[in-house]
Amino acid sequence: MSKLLLILCLSALSSCALFEKQEPKNYEILTGEVNADQLSPEQIKSELTQKDTMVMRSYEIKIYPLIDSYLKRAQLEKDLLAEIPSTEDKTCFMAEFRIDSHNKKTADLSTWKAEAINYEDDMIHMEWTPLSASKQPEVKEIPGYAGKDVRLTNRGVLCAVDKITLNKFFQVKLSPQVVQWPLKDDITFTWNVPELKTVDGKLVKEKRKKKVERYKGW
């Protein structure tokens, strides 16, 4: 019996690890303290990617800002990246979705609304590029609790209508068209870039304090 309990506990821990939230590892790429041109596109993506889940972990989303050093050399999804307007007046992100659902519409990017919040707390509307908005998700059957389930994957480019300052605090908020109540109907990704501030006469790096949000469900 004790062995069975141990196995169940280990399984639960491994399941949690699979869905562990991922935050950016290196903000110095965004502040310019690290020369991004000396990093590979894969390194830039790995260092700046955020990952989180929603809808009881059946939706997994990864998102990262498309900085110039990445765009110059990235080889993946050249068709999607070619649609990106000039980075002089736009800020764009790559968003990747893994959704376990029989409803293909849940992975249709055009059904996801998005907005950015800059360091001054201004809300900035975001739009999918035309090719991203029209992309159909890939469908794959996976084992489920009661037979076969369906896993949908999709990825696309999302651009803010105005320029976002990436070397300071910023957020991207994504909202699917339909989420069953009482589950949370949006997800926010935060790049809490440390800012230089003077404290007791010394320059220190300081992150913005997180706001505590109340759960909107039960």
Contact present, 188 and 173 (Cβ < 8 Å): yes
Per-residue pLDDT of the chain (218 residues; tens, 9 = 90+): 444 344 344 444 434 444 467 777 789 999 989 999 999 999 999 999 999 999 999 999 999 999 988 988 887 667 788 878 666 678 999 999 999 999 999 999 999 999 999 999 999 999 999 999 999 999 999 987 777 899 999 999 999 999 999 999 999 999 998 787 778 899 999 999 987 666 666 555 667 676 645 444 43
Is residue 3 assigned to a domain? no
CA–CA separation, 41 vs 49, rounded Å?
A: 12
The pLDDT of residue 90 is 86
The pLDDT of residue 148 is 86
Predicted TM-score of the model (pTM): 0.81
Is residue 12 assigned to a domain? no
Backbone angles phi, psi at 65, to 5 degrees: -75, 140
Is residue 6 assigned to a domain? no
Is residue 76 assigned to a domain? yes
Is residue 81 assigned to a domain? yes
Is residue 215 assigned to a domain? no
Q: Which of 128, 129, 151 is nearest to 138 (CA)?
A: 151
Return the biggest CA–CA distance within the chain: 64
Range of the domain at 38: 21-206
Question: In total, how many domains does the chain have?
Answer: 1
Contact present, 63 and 50 (Cβ < 8 Å): yes
Which single residue is written with the structure tokens 């501030």? 197
Contact present, 80 and 159 (Cβ < 8 Å): no
Q: Which of 187, 185, 198, 124 is nearest to 159 (CA)?
A: 124
